[in-house]
Structure 1
Amino acid sequence: MSQRSEVIRLYKTLLHLGRDYPKGFDYFKTRLKSAFMKNKDVEDPGQIKAMIARGEFVVKEIEALYMLRKYRTLKKRYYES
């Protein structure tokens, strides 16, 4: 897979995850776009690969936060705090 398609896939994945962001989708979308636009001129393949790896780490962190939020919600429903 080319680096360009990996970056696009990462952007779409993050955009999809942003739908449930606590501060709202518009806030997430503008921050995501500015982060990607800031690095649009990078041409070094090694640096691009490192940024993709960092982006995938961010995806995992966001997913973990969403799972934690779901767990806490379910726990509140069934147990008294």
Structure 2
Amino acid sequence: MASKATRLRALALYKELHRLGRDYEPSYDFHGKLRRLFEKNRNLTDDEEIEKALRLGEYIKNETLALYSLRKYRYLKRMYPPNSTSDA
């Protein structure tokens, strides 16, 4: 049976992913997929399975943050002109 700490950890992860999903492209349905994933795993009772599901959620969170950072980097790179100092 999952402890209260595990439940709180899962809720915190859900909230964090939900906040991250605000910036995701609407056509991807990030919130819908997130909800379905958590609903699918809500009846887990084995501690190892719960830990595995939480690790997957953490992985998704880290990958989403990496995608956002990459998107910001690409945007900033487009804002600056190409480096033309090599012509001299």
How many residues are aligned here?
79
User: Does the CA contact (< 8 Å) of 2:20 and 2:64 recur in 1?
Assistant: yes
**Which of the pair has more CA radius of gyration?**
2
Larger deviation: 40-49 or 26-35? 26-35
Moved over 4 A (4+): none
Q: 1:14 aligns with which of 13, 17, 21?
A: 17
Q: How does 1:22-61 map to 2 (within 5 A)?
A: 22=25, 24=26, 27-61=29-63
- Give me the identity figure in percent: 39
Alpha-carbon deviation of 1:26?
8.4
Give structure 1 stretches of 5+ with no counterpart: none
Change (3 A) 1:32 1:26: same
Give structure 2 stretches of 5+ with no counterpart: 83-88
Q: 2:66 aligns with which of 64, 67, 74?
A: 64
RMSD (Å), alpha carbons: 1.7
Structure 1 length-normalised TM: 0.89
Structure 2 length-normalised TM: 0.83
Rounded Cα–Cα distance in structure 2 between residues aligned with 1:79 and 1:10: 40
Rounded Cα–Cα distance in structure 2 between residues aligned with 1:76 and 1:54: 33
